[in-house]
Amino acid sequence: MVTYENWREISPSFSSENQSKGAHAVLEWAYRTYSADEIIYASSFGAEAVVLIDLIQEVKSDAQIVFLDTDLHFPETYKVIEQIEERYPALQIEKRKPRLTLEQQAAAHGTALWKRDPGLCCQIRKVEPLREALTPKNAWISGLRREQSPTRAGTNFLNRDDKFQNIKICPLIHWTWEDVWNHIRTRALPYNELHDQGYPSIGCFPCTQAVGTDGDSRAGRWAGSGKTECGLHTN
């Protein structure tokens, strides 16, 4: 098994020359390699996520999925989670909360921390909950695509994740935004309605803005702050 510790010794490669651009082969390898309790998909329930969930459930119908429930998501995000739960009832979807409620965070760090220190807010509400979820795992799955941003352009199918001391598996690295939407339409997948209202990437409502439909797929996140990632994918 590929683990964080033996990463350099065993590192399989996958062809991207097929219909799913390698995603099916990567997922089949992942769920063959890791037992159900050793691997988890950390899902945002955005456009890439519903595609990835659709691909995952074909390989592992009761796969474990974790959603980082910051208490600051749009109602439309919770709606698409419910739709996914109805469509794929065998999936094990956990909505993981931060240790601090919003009230406790405000008491400890002041109100609207996302305005003054979004890095700390993401650390409390996203990074630490994911760290707790990944601690007992050997591998996690992410929907990163290379074309999403310069910071994601170097992502591989398998990545040694120093931040969480884990293996990060990214089946969709070669998918384009058009590929994602073609799959959603072809499979008639439920998706977050905010995508139709100019939100290409959807996170917490205080840090997500509509940008129109022709912007890059990460536009609108932490607009004007210089921040581009929540900290889950940066070491």
Q: Which residues are catalytic?
A: 230
200 belongs to the binding site for ligand SF4 (CB under 6 A): no
CA angle 161, 167, 170 (to 5 degrees): 95
Number of residues that bind ligand SF4 (CB under 6 A): 13
126 belongs to the binding site for ligand SF4 (CB under 6 A): yes
72 belongs to the binding site for ligand SF4 (CB under 6 A): yes
70 belongs to the binding site for ligand SF4 (CB under 6 A): yes
Which strands make up the sheet holding 158-161, listed edge to edge?
92-96, 64-68, 39-42, 139-141, 166-169, 158-161
Q: Which residues contact 192 (CB under 8 A, 6 or more apart)?
A: 45, 46, 47, 74, 76, 77, 79, 80, 199, 202
- Give the nearer residue to ligand SF4 in terms of CB position, either 41 or 114: 114
Distance in Å, CB of 203 to ligand SF4, minimum: 5
102 belongs to the binding site for ligand SF4 (CB under 6 A): no
CA–chain centroid gap for 216, Å, is 17
CA angle 196, 198, 201 (to 5 degrees): 95
130 belongs to the binding site for ligand SF4 (CB under 6 A): no
Parallel, antiparallel, or unpaired: how do β-strands 166-169 and 158-161 relate?
Answer: antiparallel
Can you read off the two tokens belonging to residue 31?
């769920």
Helix (H, G, I), strand (E, B) or coil at 95: strand
Which region, judged by CB under 6 A, interacts with ligand SF4, from 101-109, 121-129, 135-143, 151-159? 121-129
105 belongs to the binding site for ligand SF4 (CB under 6 A): no
Distance in Å, CB of 72 to ligand SF4, minimum: 5
| Rounded Cα distance, 88 and 108, in Å | 39
206 belongs to the binding site for ligand SF4 (CB under 6 A): yes
Distance in Å, CB of 124 to ligand SF4, minimum: 7
- Give the nearer residue to ligand SF4 in terms of CB position, either 134 or 173: 134
202 belongs to the binding site for ligand SF4 (CB under 6 A): no
Can you read off the two tokens belonging to residue 44?
């945002």
207 belongs to the binding site for ligand SF4 (CB under 6 A): yes
Which region, judged by CB under 6 A, interacts with ligand SF4, from 87-95, 163-171, 186-194, 198-206? 198-206
Can you read off the two tokens belonging to residue 205?
């409502």
Residue 81's φ and ψ, nearest 5 degrees, are -60, -45
- Give the nearer residue to ligand SF4 in terms of CB position, either 206 or 215: 206
Contact positions toward ligand SF4, by CB under 6 A?
70, 72, 114, 118, 121-122, 125-126, 203-204, 206-207, 230
